[in-house]
Amino acid sequence: MKSDARSAFIGMVDNAYRMAGDIGLEGVRKFESVLNEFKSWCNQRHTEKEKEYNGHGKKKNVPMTSNKYTSTVKCLFNTYHM
């Protein structure tokens, strides 16, 4: 799905870059504010989905990855020093 969205919007985004540049600083600032607003909306939706996923509002991501933690184990220990 991500690659489909990218290919669908690449022309539109390129045109927006060009138009913002043609307008000047005001256009660049407006384009930036629209992108920041969209990014904020996406983060909010992601947070809502994650709360629905684990039911507690606690993040359950594996450190150093973006994968979901799916084990039933509550605590992981680093066994390198044990």
Tens digits of per-residue pLDDT, 2-48? 568 888 889 999 999 999 999 999 999 999 999 999 999 988 888 88
Domain ranges across the chain: 2-81
pLDDT tens-digit series, residues 20-31: 999 999 999 999
Q: Is the pLDDT of residue 81 over 70?
A: no
Q: What is the DSSP string of 7-67?
A: HHHHHHHHHHHHHHHHH-HHHHHHHHHHHHHHHHHHHHHHHHHHHHHHSSS---BPTTS-P
Quote the pLDDT of residue 35.
Answer: 92
Is pTM beyond 0.85? Reply is no
